[in-house]
């Protein structure tokens, strides 16, 4: 009897237990570049050509992307511009921040430090302030602060992990600002795990050549986000919750000048006029690309991509999706949820159904994920579940290497999650399979977080170019801090010189025309705002009586 697991898995788990001892010594060799390239081509979901298409409309017309993303770009607006009264402005502010996660909140704070009063700002978000992928980040934040490390090595790891497709000036900004961000966090009172001297405990992640991950147990994202949010609350930065932007407004001079919001509860629309907009709407995990499960929060539906695209911004690297190698594969109630890379950073290794090693535990994420898929579906060495397959992550190794109690101490969130479903991950391995984790690409920005449309800034997961075709662990929490900060500073500077013209939604009308001219006839509407998870039977009888 193995607690928490069905009988069908017991034999395999026993093999994992039996082979553990020798894994203390055994190391699986890292792949050469040529070898990993071929693995990616054959097994990474990004390389399935039938899962993508060329988008037929807009400024990045001709760009290949997953069908799920193209579907959103080739969709009708939610609003009819002729029904909106733009002369009746509900909120007139200097700075509108769309998205209440890490990037948007950091941008608000840095706009404040650069002279924008909280009264002249507005954060709008579709869920609650802080509901975001930032809150869920577990593993850590990369900062090259140890004497053995350097920002240049951080640069090299980041651009190599991105297969040399990253925008160099954005990577430079990322690594150069990293120590400043960490210092800022210290000043705000963010708690990190440290040694007795006060230096940070640091471990390595996939594709990093140095121990560089700074963490707060496995609640790193939550600790950063709740402190940043607390600071924003102390400053009285106004936040409209459950009121997502559904379309951007421009002015007659072609600059971005506000947004239409929807109050999700009263269904009223609201008009915001703003001299600058920071778009920090996050990524696209909840589109479930290629039907993958996701680690992402409920609102990750790429709304910002759609809205920005209609104003004329270019997109970049949207063909590239990050599948995190270790999503939970069992129990099904938590399928797809994140098992942080830090679990491997602390010594757990992936093994197949026979307890054999098949890949180095810390390859870059896309390579690691591809190796898992190969092991399950080409070599047929995966463990069957009711809905698919998975490989074991031998988590009990952590305590063999670092002592008893380490799992509970270093991974309270993970330990707690599995315990809720009857599994003690310090004693039993856990079953994992790649899960949709991150939008590598996004809206094109420069190193000041400017898009190609005046007045519009983008940061966080919504923006692209920083990570190229593959992001390294610990670079997304860093990214939202670095580019959130830069967006806030740039926006604050810009605002001083802005004189808005007349508000208009002409770009939306034009976009509709362009859809028709491209021969796209569809009932689809976008942005999506919230994904659909209602039961089929309930939906079949759904009838909105307008009561």
Partner 1 sequence: MATKPEMAKIYIMGKEHQVPKELTIMGALEYAGYKYIRGAGCRAGFCGACSTIYRKKGEYKLYSDLACQTLVQDGMRLVQLPFVPAVKAKYDLGKLDVSKNTVLEYYPEIARCVTCNTCNKTCPQDLEVMEFIQAALKGDIEKSARLSFDCIQCGLCAVRCPADIKHYHVGQLVRRLYGKYMSKKSKNLEKRLKEMAHGKYDSEIDRLTRASKEELRQIYKSRDIEAAK
* Interface pick for partner 1 out of 105, 255, 295, 426 (rule CB under 8 A): 295
85 near partner 1, rule: CB under 8 A? no
- What is the x/- site pattern for partner 1, positions 316-345, by CB under 8 A? ----------------xxx--xx------x
362 near partner 1, rule: CB under 8 A? yes
CA distances from 49 to 11, 284, 438, 439, 525 (A): 38, 19, 19, 18, 25
Nearer to partner 1, 52 or 217 (CB): 217
Residue 532 CB burial class (10 angstroms; 0-12, 13-18, ≥19): exposed
Q: How far is the CB of 244 from partner 1 (least distance, A)?
A: 10
- Annotated catalytic, 324? yes
* Interface pick for partner 1 out of 417, 430, 431, 495 (rule CB under 8 A): 417
Nearer to partner 1, 255 or 295 (CB): 295
CA distances from 318 to 64, 69, 298, 300, 433 (A): 8, 8, 20, 15, 23
188 near partner 1, rule: CB under 8 A? yes
Nearer to partner 1, 89 or 227 (CB): 227
Nearer to partner 1, 198 or 519 (CB): 198
- What is the x/- site pattern for partner 1, positions 11-50, by CB under 8 A? -------------------x--x-----------------
**Residues that contact partner 1, how many (by CB under 8 A):** 94
The one catalytic residue among 44, 212, 297, 324 = 324
3-state DSSP assignment of residue 151: helix
Q: Contact 38/30 with Cβ under 8 angstroms?
A: no
Nearer to partner 1, 130 or 434 (CB): 130
Q: Locate tokens 């629309």: which residue?
A: 269
Beta strands in 192-320, from DSSP E residues, in sequence order: 202-203, 213-214, 239-240, 245-251, 256-262, 269-279, 315-316
Q: Contact 372/389 with Cβ under 8 angstroms?
A: no
* Interface pick for partner 1 out of 76, 114, 150, 253 (rule CB under 8 A): 150
Of 78-86, 110-118, 208-216, 253-261, the segment contacting partner 1 by CB under 8 A is: 208-216
Q: Contact 3/424 with Cβ under 8 angstroms?
A: yes
What is the token pair recorded at 353?
């159904």
- Annotated catalytic, 41? no
CA–CA separation, 227 and 1 (whole Å): 44
Nearer to partner 1, 20 or 512 (CB): 20
* Interface pick for partner 1 out of 84, 86, 89, 156 (rule CB under 8 A): 156
Angle at 502 between CA 253 and CA 447, to 5 degrees: 45
- What is the x/- site pattern for partner 1, positions 471-510, by CB under 8 A? ----------------------------------------
The one catalytic residue among 23, 212, 344, 450 = 344
120-139 binders of partner 1 (CB under 8 A): 127-128, 130-131, 135-136
Q: How far is the CB of 516 from partner 1 (least distance, A)?
A: 31
106 near partner 1, rule: CB under 8 A? no
Residues whose CB is less than 8 angstroms from the CB of residue 170 and which lie 6 or more positions away in sequence, other chains included = 445, 446, 447, 465, 466, 483
Instruction: Tell me phi and psi for residue 77, to 5 degrees.
Output: -65, 155
* Interface pick for partner 1 out of 210, 314, 427, 512 (rule CB under 8 A): 210
CA distances from 105 to 32, 134, 357, 440 (A): 41, 11, 42, 21
Query: Catalytic site residues?
Result: 324, 344
């Amino acid at each position: 009897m193995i607690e928490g697991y069905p009988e069908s898995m017991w034999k395999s788990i026993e093999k994992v237990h039996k082979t553990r001892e020798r894994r203390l010594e055994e190391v699986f060799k890292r792949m050469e570049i040529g070898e990993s390239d071929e693995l990616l081509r054959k097994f990474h979901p990004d390389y399935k050509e039938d899962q993508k298409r060329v988008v037929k409309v807009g400024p990045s017309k001709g760009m290949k992307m997953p069908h799920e993303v193209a579907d959103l770009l080739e969709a009708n607006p939610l609003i009819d511009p002729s029904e909106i009264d733009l002369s009746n402005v509900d909120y007139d502010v200097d700075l509108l921040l769309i998205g209440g996660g890490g990037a948007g909140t950091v941008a608000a704070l840095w706009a404040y430090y650069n002279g924008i009063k909280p009264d002249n700002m507005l954060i709008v978000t579709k869920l609650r302030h802080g509901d975001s992928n930032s809150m869920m980040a577990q593993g850590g934040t990369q900062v090259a602060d140890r004497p053995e490390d350097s920002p240049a090595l951080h640069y090299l790891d980041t651009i190599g992990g991105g297969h040399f497709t990253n925008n160099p000036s954005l990577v430079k900004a990322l690594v150069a600002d990293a120590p400043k961000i960490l210092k800022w966090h210290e000043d705000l009172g963010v708690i990190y795990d440290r040694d007795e001297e006060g230096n940070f405990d640091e471990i390595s992640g996939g594709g990093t050549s140095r121990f560089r991950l700074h963490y707060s147990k496995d609640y790193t994202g939550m600790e950063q986000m709740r402190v940043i949010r607390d600071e924003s609350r102390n400053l009285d930065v106004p936040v409209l919750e459950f009121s997502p932007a559904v379309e951007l407004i421009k002015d007659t001079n072609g600059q971005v000048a506000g947004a239409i919001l929807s109050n999700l509860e009263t269904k009223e629309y609201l008009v915001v006029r703003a001299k600058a907009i920071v778009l920090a709407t996050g990524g696209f995990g909840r589109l479930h690309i290629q039907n993958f499960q996701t680690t992402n929060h409920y609102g990750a539906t790429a709304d910002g991509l759609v809205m920005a695209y209609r104003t004329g911004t270019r997109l970049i690297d949207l063909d590239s999706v990050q599948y995190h190698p270790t999503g939970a594969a069992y129990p099904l109630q938590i399928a797809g949820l994140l098992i942080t890379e830090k679990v491997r950073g602390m010594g757990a290794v992936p093994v197949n159904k026979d307890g054999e090693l098949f890949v180095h535990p810390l390859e870059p994420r896309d390579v690691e994920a591809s190796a898992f898929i190969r092991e399950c579906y080409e070599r047929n060495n995966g463990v069957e579940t009711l809905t698919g397959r998975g490989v074991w992550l031998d988590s009990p190794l952590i305590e063999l290497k670092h002592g008893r109690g380490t799992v509970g101490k270093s991974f309270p969130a993970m330990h707690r999650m599995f315990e809720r479903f009857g599994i003690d991950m310090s004693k039993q391995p856990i079953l994992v399979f790649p899960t949709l984790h991150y939008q590598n690409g996004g809206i094109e920005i420069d190193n000041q977080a400017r898009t190609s449309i005046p007045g519009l800034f983008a940061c966080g997961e919504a923006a692209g170019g920083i990570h190229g075709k593959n992001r390294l662990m610990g670079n997304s929490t860093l990214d939202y801090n670095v580019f959130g900060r830069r967006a806030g500073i740039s926006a604050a500077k810009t605002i001083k010189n802005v004189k808005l013209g007349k508000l208009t939604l002409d770009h939306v009308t034009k976009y509709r025309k362009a859809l028709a001219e491209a021969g796209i006839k569809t009932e689809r509407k976008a942005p999506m705002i919230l994904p659909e998870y209602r039961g089929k039977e309930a939906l079949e009888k759904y009838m909105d009586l307008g009561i």
